[in-house]
Amino acid sequence: MYRARSEDTWTAARAAYEAGEPAESVCERFDLGRSNFNRRKAEEGWRRADQSDPEPVDLAFDDGDVDLPDLEEADFADFAFRRMTVEARRGRLQSALGWSRLRDAALRQMMAAEREVDRLDAARSRRARQDSAERLDDATRVSRSIQAHAQAVLAAARTDRAPASELDRLDRLDSPKPQTRADRRRQAALARKRGPP
């Protein structure tokens, strides 16, 4: 809600502020908006009588001179949320908005980091699936070559008129191998349970 105040009200508010009354109290007493009060104070250069001259600001400082704690994104987002709440309660909406933007930036960083971790996990699992498929293809090729060799031996044995017991053994080798992926998996699981021959 916009509050229009007369110049007399602003003059009285300035006098009270420069005499040493806190800004919150002046705004409450004269029913002034805090952001308008701060804007006018900055434009006209109001300064309380109990305030000393500001220290000169050294704009070229080294990061090593500032002692700020290292915060994780989640801790920083929590800190910014608390500061935003405090500033909003005090009526400092511009400051609260600034803290809100900082919190949103920290949350966006957290979400980007989580998406990157998910992307890397998906890539790893995709590579693992490809590797296992390649190993399965290799095992299938070896199995088929063994089967072809056994069939060739069986055919040669039949032509040589091998004894019946030898033919029975070779017939067992000639039994059809499973062709579906599920059958190959079951057969591999059984082979693992039995152990090496």
pLDDT digits (tens, 9 = 90+) for 103-135: 898 888 888 888 998 998 888 888 888 888 888
Could you tell me which residue, 154 or 53, shows the higher pLDDT? 154
Tokens coding 60? 């070229």
In this structure, is the dihedral angle defined by the CA atoms of residues 159, 162, 168 and 172, taken in order, positive or negative? negative
Please state the rounded mean pLDDT for residues 6-18.
Answer: 90
Give percent above pLDDT 90 in the chain: 4
Average pLDDT over the chain reads: 79
pLDDT digits (tens, 9 = 90+) for 61-84: 444 444 556 777 788 888 888 888
Please state the rounded mean pLDDT for residues 49-72.
Answer: 58
Angle (deg, nearest 10), helices 181-194 and 93-159: 80
The answer to whether 73 and 109 are in contact (CB under 8 A) is: yes
Q: Could you tell me the pTM of the whole model?
A: 0.36
CA 110 to chain centre: 4
Residue 40 scores a pLDDT above 60: yes
Q: What confidence score (pLDDT) does residue 61 get?
A: 45
Q: What confidence score (pLDDT) does residue 168 get?
A: 58
Q: Measured between alpha carbons, how far is residue 122 from residues 10, 33, 112, 130, 154 in Å?
A: 63, 53, 15, 12, 47
Could you tell me which residue, 54 or 88, shows the higher pLDDT? 88
The answer to whether 172 and 154 are in contact (CB under 8 A) is: no
Helices first, then strands: H and E counts in the chain: 7, 0
The answer to whether 9 and 38 are in contact (CB under 8 A) is: no
Residue 93 scores a pLDDT above 80: yes
Q: What confidence score (pLDDT) does residue 66 get?
A: 45
